[in-house]
Amino acid sequence: MLCCIGGVCVPYSAVVPLILLGIKWVLAKLHLYGLLPNFIAEMMNLKHLQQQPQKSQPSSCCNSENESSKRSKRKKTASGSNSEISSVVKRLESEEEFDDLLKKNAKVVVKFTATWCVPCENIHPFYQEKCKEYSEYDFITVDVDDFDDIAGKYSVAIMPTFIIVQGDTTVGTYRGSSQPELGTFFNEHL
């Protein structure tokens, strides 16, 4: 038997799990904003989720170099101008920052993620390694909950989604969290 709501039909046996999944999502959001008691977070196994980082915290996460040594690294480009080498994954702080990165007309690697996405967290150390390996490119993470306009522009429906953008052109898109497939994706497009 099916339960049809609008154009979506769901077997009756799936209704309860879907409702429970929705409740867990709401509780995860409440926990992220500190609005959920700890005992409920522990009961729902939400303790691994952390509150969103404050804007004043450094967004670098790939290595332990201090900011001044990172800024001092330079790379000579084909045109003869200097551009900063990126060896850290940056967390996007504003849409203006994203627009500025695209204006540089260099390839930018973007990971669309969410704080509640476990596969996104699991693939992040590998993403950090690739950031170091391809240090001539900017690697950023975009939280789809914070920047839904950017996520919508690139039709992000699955997380994690990785895109490589150059200017206004999408060079490539990979959806998923398989390390070998993501490595192949980077080898082909960077």
Which residues are catalytic, by number?
117, 120
Q: Phi, psi at residue 178, to the nearest 5°?
A: -85, 120
- The amino acid at residue 152 is G
Residues 6 or more apart whose CB falls under 8 angstroms from that of 147 comprise 92, 95, 98
CA 84 – CA 8 distance, rounded (Å): 49
Determine the longest span between alpha carbons in the chain, in angstroms.
68
Q: Is 52 exposed, middle or buried (0-12, 13-18, 19+ CB in 10 A)?
A: middle
Q: Measure CA 171 to chain center.
A: 18
Helix and strand numbers (H, E) in the chain are 7, 9
Structure tokens at 107: 């390839």
